Structures are given as C-alpha cells and as structure tokens.
Structure 1
Amino acid sequence: MSVQANEEAPSGEAELAGLIADSQELTGLIGEVRSRLAGRWAGEPSLLARMCAHALTPPGKLFRPILLLESALAVGGDPRWALPAAVGAESGHVASLVHDDIIDGDDTRRGRPAVHAAFGVGDAIVAADALIFDLFAGLAECHAEGAPAERVVAALAVVSRCGVDLCRGQSLETEFCAGGRFDHETYLHMVRLKTAALFRAACECGALLAGGDLRHVRALGRYAEHLGVAFQIRDDLLPYTGSAAEVGKPDTSDVRNGRLTLPVIIAHQASGAAGRAVIEAALSGSGDPATARADLLDVLRGTGALTATADWARRYLRFALTALHALPISASRARLGGYAEAAIGRDR
C-alpha cells in the first residue's frame, strides 16, 4: 500500500503551494530543504549516490518536511533547529517508497523508472537503507543548528517508534490481504501504523526539536495520525478515479497485488454473493490486471463504495482539524488545517 471523491475531484497541489507562499519564512525554509536534498548526494561519483539522487528526483510535494517545519512554527519555536530533520524526513519517506515499489512490483514512480527498475532490486534495497540512515543523520545534525541535545534524543525516540510502527503496518498488511478479511477495523489499524506513522513522526519531531511543550506535541501527534488515515483513504481511491499518468504509478497495482483497500472492503460488505464473487476474482491475481480493475470498478460504482470512501476520508479530516484546536491560534495552525484539506483533495 504505497503512500498514494468522485472522478472530478480537483488536485490540492496548487492549494498546498499557495498556503506555503503565504509565509515568506516557510517559503525560504522549503527552498532550503530542496537545495539540501539536491546537494545531499551531489559530487559523489558512486553507484549509491546515483541511486539516491534518482530516488529523490524529481522531488515530490515535500509534504512531510512541510508538516515538520510548520509544526515547529506552530509551537512558537525556531524552525531552523529542525531544518536538517525536515531534509531527513523526505529521505525517510522516499526510502519507504523504494521499498514499496519493490514489494508491489511497480516499475514506475513519479512518472519515471522506479529505483529497482533502473538499478536492480538488490542495489535499490541498499539505496533505501542509505536513505533511512540519512534520516537519522538529519536528526543528529539538528544539534549543530541549535536544538538542545535532550530534544534531539526525544525526537530520535519518536522517529524510531514510528519507523517500527511503519514496519508493523507493512507486515500486518501482508497478513490482512493474505487472509482475505474484508474488515475495516483491521484496515484502519493497519493504516494508522503504516501510513500515519511518518506523518506523526514529522509533526511530533518538529514540535519537539523546536521546544514545544508536551501538550502541543501530543495535539500535533493526534492531528498527524488522523491526517495520515485520511490521506491513505484518499490514496485508496486514486487507482479507481484517475489514470496511471495522473497518479504517477500503475493504476492496476492494488488489483494486481490483491490489496484490500477501503473502497474494496466497503463494496464487499455492501454486495450480494454475485458482487462478492466478482471482487474476490478480481483480487485473486489469476487474470489480466486491467480487466480485473475494470470489473472491480463496476462493483465499486454500483455499490456507492467510492462515495462512501470519500466520506470516510472527510470524517478523518474533521478529526485532524479538531485536534488543532489545542494549539495556540496562529498562522501556522491555520496553514496546518489548510494542508490537511488540500491533501484530501489531491489527485496524486
């Protein structure tokens, strides 16, 4: 389940960019994140450097670095103390995508060859591992930027826990899909572990490094967890509401991998025996993935599962926005709310 409504839902990317542009300080910080990412592996004539640069290029929306830096601002701290961690957050996120593409057998990422497709599976695993270690290097560098050592240690603990949660979520997904249990409670638990973990790490880490008090750190953690769930639910819709060109990866990936995403679970619960048979056959991996996707899409539409899934995403979006009420009123708090709304309206 790579971290990836109706069919005409607008992208939130322009809205996200507009929110960042409202803050000259944040605009400068994100520009520096981009610059540091571009130079992170530059000048090293090695296969590892080429693979890591390939994985990081083209840069995505930098959503997790944005959340990390905005969380630092939202608690009234100095975001420069957290700047290296923001760079590391993107490295960690990209590492998870490299691993996802290998597990899912997807040869395209962000509209170009995935790392394993370009360099081979074994070397791609090494590149992803290097990017994970670069995440921890970024945390350590925060001390040189001014973050107190005890804050760096606290942030390290948060990121480590969230990293283990991500792995738990990935493993649970394998069990969940193999067991064929169309159970939304297990799905939600899995999503909280796998997808929401990196959101939680970014927000709590930014708040901790910038000197936020525990109450505000916890509020940002709740915001991030609900946002992560909403984000993944919205991501589950993309293979059925957009093209591969729009999404940036094959739109048959979920079907080919027999993935039990929320729209599929809802459709299975709402279907009779005939509809359930179609769903189970589509996810069996025994036929052409494009045909299976088309058959599955007919059931999703017929049961109203796409609309119901979009409603679930909006529900968790509301939970995320409510969690922000515990923070002091500020432009950063308002932008955090805007980011959540923009992310749920995205088409990629």
Structure 2
Amino acid sequence: MSVHDGLLLIDGIESFTSLVADELENRWATGAGTLDSVCYYSLVPTGKLFRPLLLLDSAQAVGGDAAAVLPAAAGAECGHVASLIHDDIIDQDDVRRGRPSVQSKYGLGEAIVAGDALIFDLFASLAECRRNGVSDRRVVAALEAVAKAGIELCRGQSLEAEFTASRCFDVGTYLQVARLKTASLFRGVCASGAILGGGTPVQIQALGCYGESIGTAFQIHDDLLAYLSESEVTGKPDTSDVQNGRLTLPVILAYESATPEQREQLTEALFTALDPAQGLRRLIAITSETGAVDAATALARSYAEEAKNAVLLLPPSPSRERLAFFADAVIERAY
C-alpha cells in the first residue's frame, strides 16, 4: 500500500468514525428522563466503533451509500453496547471503558432496562433506513439477519455458562462460544450492511463470512488481552475471566500441553478461592511457559487471514481495503 493509499484509508476511517459518533451523540442526548441519561452514558464517549464502521464499509463495498445506512450503523453500536451492559451484569464487573460500568453507576434495574432499550433501538435504527431510500424488502432482510445474529449471541452466552460450569478444557467448545457470542454480531452487521447497500447474494454471503471470521479473531484476541495489556489500557478488569472461572483459549491451550503439576495449578487458579490477581499471575506464568499465548495468537491470525480472503470476492474499492485493514487491526489492538 502506498503512502497516498494509506492516508486515504485513515481519512475514510476517521470520517466514518466522526459520522457515527455524532449520530450516537444526538441519539439519546435530548431526553430528560433517567433512561435517556443511562443510555447516553453507556454510549458516549464511544468505544472503538468497529461494528458500525464494518457495516458502513460493507454497504459501500457493494456499491451502496454510507449516508443511507448510517442509522443502521449507529444501531449496530447500540446493540453491541446492550450486550456489554448485560455482560457486566452477569460477570458482576464494575468497570467498563475505564469508568464505572452501567450497573455500578445506576444500579441493576436501570442497567437491565437500558440494555433492553438499546436492543429495541437497534431494530428501530434499521427501520430508519427506509427514510433514506433503502427499500422495504432490503430493510426486512437486514432485520432478519440481525435478529438471527442476536439469537445466536444469546445462545452463545448460555453455552458459555454451561462451558464454564463443565470445567472441560475443550478448544472446539470455546470456538463455538466465540462464533455464537461474538462473531454472530460481526456477521450480522456485515451482512446487513451488504443487504442495505444493495449487494448481490454472493456479496452478502462473502461479507457474512468475513464478519464471522473477523469476529472470531476479535474474540480470541480479546481473551488474550489479560496476558498482553494492563487493565489501565483495556479499560476493564483483567481479572474478570479468572474471577468467573471462564475458560479462555490461552488457558485451554496451556492445559492441553501442561505438565500434571501445571494443570493442577491452572485449575486451582480458576476454580478455587485464590485472590483473582494472584490467580491471573499464575495463569500468565503457565500460559507463557507452555507457549499457549503464541499459539492462540497464531489462531487469531489465521481467522484474520480468512476474513481478508473473503473480501477478495468484492470489487476493488477503498471500502474493501478498509475491511482488509480491520481484519489486521482487531488482532493488533491493545484494548
């Protein structure tokens, strides 16, 4: 990529980020009630906005108009933030994006209601695209894609709870949870962007595959952050997985190649009453000794490559270049 192309890529990302941030800033700012305040707090300042950006570029990559699908992009972030609110409730996490999580600041009841409201706003945002000239048929198809992704996300959350309770160090089950809980929403936003943008069935399928692959890479890397970054950088507790006894890929891979003594130390760190910080230190040591962090990183990279290959079916464009860039960005981020 030339310097000129690189600057165009960055300019495009910054432009889309600004558009989505402004849309989210205005979405709940005018309400005077508690619900509006809670939703606004959860959305602003924004996070990385990966999902909205992927939706916009998926639409443009198939010849669509980013401005026409902007409401859907904002809705994608609302749906994502709703899942974070509910995740923090389940995990009893008090910190999100470097500040008090929603339930920590406003209480459990308000957090549940706000998460529910943001899910409904996701669907309202998709319907809004009709006002911008998107056909009813494509809006309905996009609603279906996102609804299916949301149901899979819930299945993934439920399966994760079963997996945690099973205490079974199984890579296949972990990857199934990642595909359902995380990659489903990535697939939904990319496929819906392509649908709303007027893509062909082949293009929609390619972008759905892209979304699933990049989402799986994202989740694997997310589970690596406790071993690669400090909590001050990630903006969330690095001991959450240890505290909740959650089986992440680096831990599973470490268990597979660990000595009997190391396996005993792993299970003790996860499933006994060790101080979470002490448990994390033990896990960091064992995952490093067994090469599990490197192995998990390599698997995340392979999914990112799958995503980049999927978009090769699309015609060359700045949006296709950005989609390929994001496939690398999700596994190179420090937070």
Q: Is TM > 0.5 for Structure 1 vs Structure 2?
A: yes
Q: Which of 250, 258, 273 is 2:237 aligned to?
A: 250
Secondary structure of 1:58's counterpart equals: coil
Aligned to 2:30: 43
Deviations 1:165-220 (A, max 9, x none): 00000000000110011110111111111100111111001110011111000000
Q: Offset at 1:157?
A: 0.2
Aligned residues: CA RMSD: 1.3
Q: Tell whether the 8 Å contact from 2:190 to 2:208 is kept in structure 1 after alignment.
A: yes
Aligned 8 A contact 2:305 2:327 in 1: no
Shift of residue 285, structure 1, vs aligned partner:
4.3
- Corresponding position of 1:21: 10
Matching residue's letter, 2:18: G
1:105 corresponds in structure 2 to: 92
User: 1:126, 1:110 → 2: CA distance?
Assistant: 20
CA spacing shift, 1:269–1:343, aligned 2, 3 Å: same
* Long gaps (5+) in structure 1: 1-16
| 1:300 partnered with 2:287 | yes
Alignment correspondent of 2:322: 335
The question of whether the paired residues in 2 share the 8 Å contact of 1:68 and 1:205 is answered with yes
CA apart distance, 1:148: 0.2
Q: Which runs of 5+ in 2 are unaligned?
A: 1-5
Cα displacement (A) at 1:27: 4.5
Whether the 8 Å contact between 1:19 and 1:338 is mirrored in structure 2 is no
Change (3 A) 1:193 1:144: same
1:315-345 CA distance string (max 9 Å, x none): 1111111111111122211111011111110
CA shift for structure 1 position 34: 1.3
- Among 105, 109, 116, the residue aligned to 1:129: 116
Structure 2 distance, partners of 1:108, 1:33, is 24
Stretches of 4+ aligned residues off by more than 2 angstroms: 17-23, 26-32
Q: CA deviation at 1:122?
A: 1.2
Higher alpha-carbon deviation: 140-149 or 282-291: 282-291
Letter in 2 for 1:299: I
Q: What amino acid does structure 2 have at the position aligned with 1:258?
A: G
| Structure 1 residues 20 and 89, CA gap change in structure 2 (3 angstroms) | farther
Aligned length: 330
* AA in 1 matched with 2:303: Y
Aligned to 2:19: 32
User: Aligned residue for 1:67?
Assistant: 54
Distance in 1 between the 2:195 and 2:280 partners?
44
**Are positions 1:53 and 2:40 aligned together?**
yes
Alpha carbons 2:183, 2:211 under 8 Å: kept: yes
TM-score normalised per structure 2: 0.96
Identity of aligned residues (%): 52
| 1:148-159 correspondence to structure 2 within 5 Å | 148-159=135-146
Structure with more contact order per residue of length (Cα contacts < 8 Å, sep ≥ 6): 1
Instruction: From the superposition, tell whether residues 279 and 19 of structure 1 become closer, same or farther in structure 2 (CA, over 3 Å).
Output: farther
Kindly state the Cα deviation for residue 30 of structure 1 after the two structures are TM-superposed: 3.4
- What is the deviation of 1:81? 2.2
Q: Distance in 2 between matches of 1:301 and 1:27?
A: 36
Q: In the alignment, what sits opposite 1:226?
A: 213
